[in-house]
Amino acid sequence: MSGQTDITPFFGAATVGITFENGVVIGAEKRVLWGYTVVSKTGKKVFPITDNIVVGSAGVSGDYQMLSSFLMAESNLFELENRRAITVNAAAQLLSNILFSRKYMPYLTQTLIGGVDSDGSHLYSLDLAGSLIKETYAAVGTATSLVLGVLEANYREDLTKEEAVQLAVKAIRSATRRDAMSGEGIDLLIVTPEGIESKHFPLA
């Protein structure tokens, strides 16, 4: 429509989140775009926030880097003031509030946040305006429909850690074969009660 700007090119990504027994994995590929131009093949789209919470993003890299840094600082401040770690639900709600407060000049991001706390494993998806939805698996970015097709065909609630990692890699690899805005490699952050583990995989 006349007068509207297509922001789809700014959300190039295949970013996935999967809950499993006692944990959650969030992963993404590494291609960074500006419009239809590849500006980096080594970008990071997944970030640790605390010792038990991580986020994965699609969108403008400066926006999701700033948003992740802000959320990390606020989560650390919460722990200092309350002498206890922030829960996954509270961190997700905080992120929702941050995004909603900027809804008229939004961060150009779509975000997954997940982690493990005393209530178990949790995964949430958020849009630009902070809409907060709890999921068992989710995807954001231009490759969302491709990723979800793989997840819906293979997800089970009793996935082991290794099966969840394999499914995340399979979904991202499958998506990058058809989504020109995704590619280069795969970063995963796996959260369990023992902490956060980082893994990297080639696309091939």
> Which domain does 173 fall in, by range?
8-201
Instruction: Specify if 37 maps to a domain.
Output: yes
CA distance 92 to 134: 10
Nearest Cα neighbor of 113 from 95, 97, 131 is 95
CATH number, position 103: 3.60.20.10
Instruction: Specify if 181 maps to a domain.
Output: yes
Average pLDDT of the chain, as a whole number: 91
- Higher-pLDDT residue of 196, 180: 196
Across residues 158-170, what is the average pLDDT?
A: 97
Phi, psi torsion values for 82, nearest 5 degrees: -105, -5
pLDDT interval class at 164 (50, 70, 90) = very high
Per-residue pLDDT, 9: 54
Interval 54-78: pLDDT, tens = 999 998 888 999 999 999 999 999 9
- Write the secondary structure of 162-201 as one string of H (helix), E (strand) and C (coil): HHHHHHHHHHHHHHHCCCCCCCCCEEEEEEECCEEEEEEE
Across residues 94-98, what is the average pLDDT?
A: 96
Instruction: Specify if 3 maps to a domain.
Output: no
Domains of the chain: total: 1
Instruction: Specify if 2 maps to a domain.
Output: no
CA distance 161 to 169: 12
Interval 113-146: pLDDT, tens = 999 999 999 999 999 999 999 999 999 988 899 9
